[in-house]
């Protein structure tokens, strides 16, 4: 029996992953802020109360998870929320809360688990990032920045822990039919008249119509994540959803074209005694 530690199992993707893991006969230690979901799996499902912004509650939860199960096999950093709107309209508080929940908390969770996983010489740390963290679109600059931060962290962490036997995967979903875009989750920066109504404003309004109409099925995403963990060589980066795949491909093509167009400029900055080396 494997044990998964999952943040944010109250609803959405976290709940779907918890259900898939339990259905496989494995154990879940999941964090919630309010009431735990009724998963009716005594001994197999343990809910711990943690707000992602509460450092000592998270420290306690990590310790507690090891007293529930001597070994933690998979850590899923899932809890998070979106912030939409123009950068000019965002407040200092919105910026700080977003990074606290979506960036500092998952990095902290990894930092707290690492010594234990290193001693185990096993473990798989998964970060639920977003396609916005690889191929950003209009209207979510701060959210994209947060998810890029976690993507970068995961890439470097993977290299750091590779010799210890710990695996790392950054999972970037496209649009999935959870509560992510509902009023209960997503936040929007608002200003009286900042001049972005026709650009960011329109995009944010259009996103409102996507709520509950997203192409991605969270249960299928959860099943893919469970399968991926079982793989002999899990990926460092995993995209979920055809929309994510198309956006990522388009972004890679843009980056390649721009690199090519500006290659001369890029190479032009080396010291002349280094020029022949590459």
Ligand X SMILES: NC(=O)c1ccc[n+]([C@@H]2O[C@H](COP(=O)([O-])OP(=O)(O)OC[C@H]3O[C@@H](n4cnc5c(N)ncnc54)[C@H](OP(=O)(O)O)[C@@H]3O)[C@@H](O)[C@H]2O)c1
Give residues in contact with ligand X (CB under 6 A).
Answer: 8, 10-14, 33-34, 51-53, 78-81, 101, 128, 130, 173, 175-176, 178-180, 185, 214
Instruction: For ligand X, give the closer residue by CB, 51 or 94.
Output: 51
Residue 71 CB, nearest approach to ligand X (Å)? 24
State how far the Cα of 8 lies from the Cα of 161, in Å rounded to an integer: 25
**CB-count burial class (<10 Å; 0-12, 13-18, 19+) for 273:** exposed
* Closest of 90, 107, 4, 129 to residue 52, by C-alpha: 107
Residue 6 CB, nearest approach to ligand X (Å)? 9
State how far the Cα of 82 lies from the Cα of 175, in Å rounded to an integer: 12
Instruction: For ligand X, give the closer residue by CB, 52 or 200.
Output: 52
Residue 81 CB, nearest approach to ligand X (Å)? 5
Question: Which tokens hold the place of 59?
Answer: 């420290």
Using an 8 Å Cβ cutoff, are 81 and 187 in contact? yes
Distance between first and last Cα of the chain: 50
Instruction: For ligand X, give the closer residue by CB, 48 or 157.
Output: 48
Residue 231 CB, nearest approach to ligand X (Å)? 21
* Helix, strand, or coil (residue 277): helix
Instruction: For ligand X, give the closer residue by CB, 194 or 211.
Output: 211
Instruction: For ligand X, give the closer residue by CB, 22 or 101.
Output: 101
Residue 154 CB, nearest approach to ligand X (Å)? 13
């Amino acid at each position: 029996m494997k044990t998964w530690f999952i943040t944010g199992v109250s609803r959405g993707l976290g709940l779907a992953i918890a259900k898939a893991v339990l259905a496989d006969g494995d154990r879940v230690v999941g964090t919630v802020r309010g009431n735990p979901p009724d998963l009716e799996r005594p001994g197999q499902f343990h809910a711990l109360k943690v707000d992602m912004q509460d450092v000592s509650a998270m420290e306690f939860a990590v310790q507690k998870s090891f007293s529930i199960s001597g070994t933690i096999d998979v850590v899923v950093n899932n809890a998070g929320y979106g912030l939409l709107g123009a950068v000019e309209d965002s407040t200092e508080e919105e910026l700080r809360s977003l990074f606290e929940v979506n960036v500092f908390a998952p990095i902290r969770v990894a930092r707290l688990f690492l010594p234990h996983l290193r001693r185990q010489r096993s473990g798989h740390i998964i970060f639920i990032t977003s396609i916005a963290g690889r191929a950003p679109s209009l209207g979510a600059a701060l959210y994209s920045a947060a998810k890029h931060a976690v993507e970068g962290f995961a890439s470097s962490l993977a290299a750091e822990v590779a010799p210890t036997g710990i695996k790392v995967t950054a999972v970037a979903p496209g649009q999935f039919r959870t509560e992510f875009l509902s009023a209960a989750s997503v936040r929007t920066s608002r200003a009286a008249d900042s001049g972005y109504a026709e650009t960011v404003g329109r995009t944010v309004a259009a996103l409102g119509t996507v709520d509950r109409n997203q192409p991605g099925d969270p249960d299928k995403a959860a099943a893919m994540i469970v399968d991926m963990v079982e793989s002999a060589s899990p990926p460092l980066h995993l995209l979920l959803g055809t929309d994510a795949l198309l956006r990522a491909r388009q972004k890679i093509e843009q980056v390649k074209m721009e690199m090519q167009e500006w290659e001369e400029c890029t190479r032009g900055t080396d010291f002349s005694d280094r020029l022949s080396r590459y």
